[in-house]
Amino acid sequence: MQPHRRLREDLLDAAAGLIIERGFRRVRMQDVADAVGVSRQTVYNEFGDKWGLAQALNLRENERYLDGVDAALSDHADLYSAVAAAVSYTLRTAADDPLKKATLTGEGSEDLLPLMTTHAEPVLFAARERIVDHAVRQWPELDAAEVAEIADAVIRLTMSHVMLPTDPAEVVAGRLARLVARYLRVPDAASDAAGPPAASSPAAASPADYSPPLSSS
């Protein structure tokens, strides 16, 4: 890893640890600098300000989640199972993620919540682009525009369940996988069990048919 990239990663690691320990509001740029052994100006030069540091940390953590999503999708040949595995991975990982816990429930980290709600666009766009690219590469018969539409809906719904879990991860994963399969007109677990659909089967499900527990936009 290049020295500049290594420094950036070290600063983000330090910031994450301090946020988990103290809460975002109590972390100063000087604290991050001291943890890595550099000057405060170095931290400012890298991220601009404290909010820039928070955004960079959020984007890096999102990329790490997406690495796991990529792996989950790749492990399954059928779309339904792949989506269920990816959603389940995301929800389970988030539930055990100390940084996510600090953001959602930790005292002093309320200022980070907009990164998952009203200022979540960079995360949403990055996740949608990466997931769509993966899906159309793994399942080239799918329509890219339709994949983008349903991916946007499922990402938002998954983020809502990360913020306000209401059901076990496997239950939510199955629901969202069925939504994707029916929207894209591919087999899901229920249709596999019931056999091929009749000619008069209902129209594909719409993302609007599934209401999230909490809006993330």
Q: What is the pLDDT of residues 139-186, one digit of tens each?
A: 999 999 999 999 999 999 999 999 999 999 999 999 999 999 999 999
Residue 26: give its domain's CATH number.
Answer: 1.10.10.60
Compute the C-alpha angle 104/108/114, nearest 5°.
50
Task: Give phi and psi for 143, each to the nearest 5.
Answer: -85, 125
Cα dihedral 45/50/54/59 (nearest 10) = -30
121 shares its domain with 62: yes
Please give the tally of structural domains in the chain. Answer: 2
Q: Are 160 and 117 in contact (CB under 8 A)?
A: no
| pLDDT tens track for 14-41 | 999 999 999 999 999 999 999 999 999 9
Q: Which domain holds residue 195?
A: 57-209
Q: Is the pLDDT of residue 83 over 90?
A: yes
145 shares its domain with 100: yes
38 shares its domain with 81: no
Is 214 part of a structural domain of the chain?
no
Is 117 part of a structural domain of the chain?
yes
Is 175 part of a structural domain of the chain?
yes
User: Nearest CA to 58 among 149, 139, 157, 124?
Assistant: 124
106 shares its domain with 205: yes
Quote the pTM value. 0.83
66 shares its domain with 148: yes
Q: Is the pLDDT of residue 216 over 50?
A: no
Q: Which residues 6+ apart lie within 8 Å of 96 measured at CB?
A: none
150 shares its domain with 91: yes
User: Nearest CA to 90 among 44, 31, 171, 155?
Assistant: 155
Q: Which residues 6+ apart lie within 8 Å of 128 measured at CB?
A: 148, 151, 152, 155
